[in-house]
A and B are shown apart, each in its own frame.
Chain A
């Protein structure tokens, strides 16, 4: 096979060394963060060594106090609430729409599908301001409704498309058999197609969770009350602090903010990576 003279094992070792070097560079910021969060504040920027001279957890206790009498725990609770509801809303609404596009007959199906694909490329800024005005006039600014309602109405075309593609791969014979046996379209959807679409629904859930967890722009636009703040908005309070005394709290809370994503990643990494390679999901 190989033309080169270099022995197989040597090539293999070289390959691993190269890969590990890239791993070190790629994961360095995360490892650095983990250690920075338990360093004494004056050590964070002044010493290059990764390991602290002594472990200090002040950042965590101080950061957890949050801001304006609202603890960081509250921000986490809000983030989990928004992300959890978004997942439920997205899975429900996107699978409904996807089933219609994948299996049902209706007029203008092709045109509507094409329209949906087009909205994939639409920058959300062109709808942002009228949407804001609508929610503002409905008195819904400063609630979680503007963050979740769009998902309940399947505006995330990406996931509709993902589920459509998956449902198209399910053998038609299965749902046709159910229909012939007298199942209504609704029961066929619920008892046959939906359970078979589980992999696509899991992918949708994971990515909805992570994207909502990371989302900053929409949450900043719609939430101004500290009580309603989510984790990214809580972290935003550190954006203009440059005093080193706050660094401990900033890194401690940043580290905590990344924990749910890291856990998701560790639990589902295989599925996530497969999902990306088959559907071209953006990270």
Chain B
């Protein structure tokens, strides 16, 4: 690591002549700061202090207050938090909707993306085209435009209704029905399976073909090879996708806003957490309550991430030999 670096600044203590031990610097391991570093770091540091750390501290404070932006914040202790969990049915509804959404959409999206990635993991021609076509919705899907299209597709008399009716399943207007509305949003999420698929595909390509060949020779069928080779070898990628998709899903906003018609859908069936937070903060101007909600969201995401990281030991397999070995 410490080869010829930048010429030592003049302040550096004189090195004993002929000493080859460049590694142990006399004054311990204290890092010298290059003056230029500040120039490069200034924008980021300003942002980190003024737009991240500062606001976090303030919002933590606000979460213990009543604040409407026009009068100064009133300290109410844990009032917001107790109100949330004991006295606010719409809040609890938003928690319920969001949990259902995360618990269903994330595993479903990951399953679909893994299956399609396995389908595309071949040397056949045309793979690049399919990969690109499947990826496209990942870029478009988060937009208001895509959500508007989705809403029309799942409306009463819309194509989905008609197609299902033609095979004998008569469904109500999905977007207007409390039972079906959330399902249409979950399907919109699953439609964007392309991004995790591409990551899975990159992971699948890393699995040495010899493993599959050796197992096949030993008589392992396709399912056993999937269970005992593909899944363990891919587990770090599954882990990564799971964490990223879960964090993302908790914060989903646009589809629920648009498909729910801007106000949480039929009987609040699409009242996502972030949607309710927006309503509380920017329509009712209950900024203290909204801040408290944001901190609960942060806590939940942190806990979920921590759980996934903790359990990772049990199911994520790191092939260390593969990292340091000279495999090309």
Contact = CB atoms under 8 A, between A and B. Distances in A.
Contact of B140 (A99, A186, A240, A262): A262
B54 interface: yes
A261 B116 contact: no
Given A136-B69, A210-B139, A257-B143, A100 B122 contact: no
Contact of B146 (A29, A109, A176): A29
B38 A125 contact: no
B50 interface: yes
B22 to A, nearest CB: 15
Interface in B261-314: 261-262, 274, 277-278, 281-282, 287, 290-291, 293-295, 297-298, 301-302, 305
A45 interface: yes
A98 B138 CA distance: 27
A278 B41 CA distance: 26
B82 interface: no
Contacts, number: 287
A27 to B, nearest CB: 6
Interface residues of B, number: 103
B191 A26 contact: yes
B294 A129 contact: yes
B39 A269 contact: no
B37 to A, nearest CB: 4
B199 interface: yes
Contacts of B138: 282-283
B234 interface: no
B131 interface: yes
A7 to B, nearest CB: 14
Contacts of B16: none
Interface stretch (A14-22, A51-59, A66-74, A196-204): A14-22
A119 interface: yes
B134 interface: yes
Interface string B96-136: 00000000000000000000100110101010101111111
A26 B146 CA distance: 13
Q: Per DSSP, are chain B's interface residues mostly helix, strand or loop, or mixed?
A: helix
Nearest to A97: B44
Interface residues of A, number: 99
Given A123-B301, A125-B294, A258 B145 contact: yes
Interface in A246-283: 247, 250-251, 253-255, 257-258, 261-262, 264-265, 269-270, 272-273, 276-278, 280-283
A129 B287 contact: yes
Nearest to A137: B69
B7 A179 contact: yes
A125 B47 contact: no
Contact of A217 (B38, B148, B254, B301): B254
A26 to B, nearest CB: 6
Given A33-B149, A126-B298, A257 B144 contact: yes
A152 to B, nearest CB: 7
A12 B59 contact: no
A93 B44 contact: yes
A76 to B, nearest CB: 12
Nearest to B58: A130
